[in-house]
Amino acid sequence: MNPKPNIVNLPVYKPGKPIEEVKRELGLSEVIKLASNENPYGSSPSARAAIVAELDNLSVYPDGSAAELTSALAGHLGVKNDNIIFGCGSDEIIALIARAFFLPGDETIMADQTFSVYKSNADIEGAVTIEVPLASGTHDLDAMLACVSDRTKVIWVCNPNNPTGTIVGEEALTTFLDSVPNHVMVVLDEAYAEYVTDLSYSNGIQLLERYSNLVVLRTFSKIYGLAALRIGYGVASPEIIKLINQVREPFNTSRLAQAAALAALGDQDYVQECRRLNSAGIIQLQREFKRLGLESFPAHGNFIMVDVRKSAVDVFDSLLRKGVIVRAGHRLYPSYIRVTVGSTEQNIAFVTALEQVLSEQGVRA
């Protein structure tokens, strides 16, 4: 059986190594995973209680429209129900946008080091990807704008950017949006928005009334701690949401995910506490990196990208053998690792292991 020609060489997405696999492969009893930007504090107790309460309904299909969750989220965001679509993580919304809007030969613009799922879905649909170099790890919006043509369908802006963790401020973003032609959709991926404390950061939801071509993506996988349940959402004009819905599978989010997300949304005190702990963790790690003489990008999500001044893959392998999983292999940043901000204890364990590895490899502070 012959596959579509445009997917023959498509790379397979590689998630962070699972804890169980590392324990089995290396014979370790204790492993810390700081590779997938998961919330080290888990989910709200109310979300866990909602999952338990929903277990009696496992034989019943979920509400395909997620009506109760949609209504609650619309109230929380200050939008209308028909502005929202849910997906199996925000990843699925990305795939649905590509499915709904790309024709072979259409062009799409993104940063040259950003969330890889944008490009892979464009490739699947036969779209042509234009990658614009980051400027000091940040989206170069002027350069992206200069690449717009009559064939441009979608521009992707990951804010904070994964993996660098940098942000585009509101002034720069609105100036950019003012200049983007109406026929071009701008997808603003705010998967880590709830972690950001910088006052210059834009709230994409509040920009939707001004820009009809804007789509904002968010997720319950990060600060809400529901990564295992795979539920995220997109917010846009009713016209765009209707078109995306037309290519959505009917039961793409589970009953457990909807129930947990509804409960998690109602516990904003927990969200604020996770934001506070994450900010403290960023300060802790940045202080330690400075002590070790390592430079890192400004961190605005729940992860930091740091230059270890050696092959990141070698450092990754050495950390793995000490029971710490991070992320490496970023093609434009071969000496950088990305590490999730963990709990205080996890951060200490990571820094201790990193210092040992760097010393073993001859990197001096």
Q: What is the DSSP letter of 337?
A: E
Dihedral sign for Cα 68, 69, 71, 76, please. positive
Token output for 71: 């209504």
Q: Which of 18-27, 76-85, 146-155, 248-257 has the lowest mean pLDDT?
A: 18-27
- Averaged pLDDT for residues 63-89: 97
Predicted confidence at residue 240, as pLDDT, reads 98
- Averaged pLDDT for residues 43-66: 97
Predicted confidence at residue 13, as pLDDT, reads 56
Structure confidence at residue 265 as a pLDDT band (50, 70, 90): very high
Structure confidence at residue 74 as a pLDDT band (50, 70, 90): very high
Predicted confidence at residue 112, as pLDDT, reads 97
CATH number among 3.40.640.10, 3.10.100.10, 2.40.440.10, 3.40.190.10, domain 45-267: 3.40.640.10
Predicted confidence at residue 21, as pLDDT, reads 79
The number of helices, as runs of H, and strands, as runs of E, in the chain is: 13, 11
On the question of pLDDT at 101 being above 80, the answer is: yes
To the question of pTM greater than 0.75 for the whole model, the response is yes
140-141-145-148 Cα dihedral, nearest 10 degrees: 70
Instruction: Tally Cβ neighbours within 10 Å of residue 57.
Output: 12
Predicted confidence at residue 28, as pLDDT, reads 76
Token output for 325: 């999983």
What is the chain's alpha carbon radius of gyration, rounded to the nearest angstrom? 21
Predicted confidence at residue 8, as pLDDT, reads 57
Mean pLDDT for all residues in the chain = 94
On the question of pLDDT at 2 being above 60, the answer is: no
- Averaged pLDDT for residues 188-207: 97
Structure confidence by residue, pLDDT tens digits, 246-261: 999 999 999 999 999 9
- Is residue 120 within 8 A of residue 92, CB to CB? The reply is no
- Averaged pLDDT for residues 203-207: 96
Rounded CA separation 122/95 (Å): 8
Structure confidence by residue, pLDDT tens digits, 331-359: 999 999 999 999 999 999 999 999 999 99
- Averaged pLDDT for residues 268-288: 98
Angle between helices 312-321 and 344-360 (to 10 degrees): 120
Backbone angles phi, psi at 134, to 5 degrees: -65, 155
Rounded CA separation 242/84 (Å): 9
Structure confidence at residue 282 as a pLDDT band (50, 70, 90): very high
Predicted confidence at residue 23, as pLDDT, reads 74
- Averaged pLDDT for residues 294-307: 98
Rounded CA separation 211/170 (Å): 14
- Averaged pLDDT for residues 122-134: 97
Structure confidence at residue 361 as a pLDDT band (50, 70, 90): confident
Assigned CATH for 5-42+269-360: 3.90.1150.10
- Averaged pLDDT for residues 102-131: 97
Domain ranges of the chain: 5-42+269-360, 45-267
Q: How far is CA 203 from the centre of its chain?
A: 16
Predicted confidence at residue 64, as pLDDT, reads 94
Structure confidence by residue, pLDDT tens digits, 15-49: 666 787 777 877 777 889 999 999 999 999 999 99
Rounded CA separation 70/48 (Å): 20
On the question of pLDDT at 306 being above 90, the answer is: yes
Predicted confidence at residue 214, as pLDDT, reads 98
On the question of pLDDT at 283 being above 90, the answer is: yes
- Is residue 312 within 8 A of residue 336, CB to CB? The reply is yes
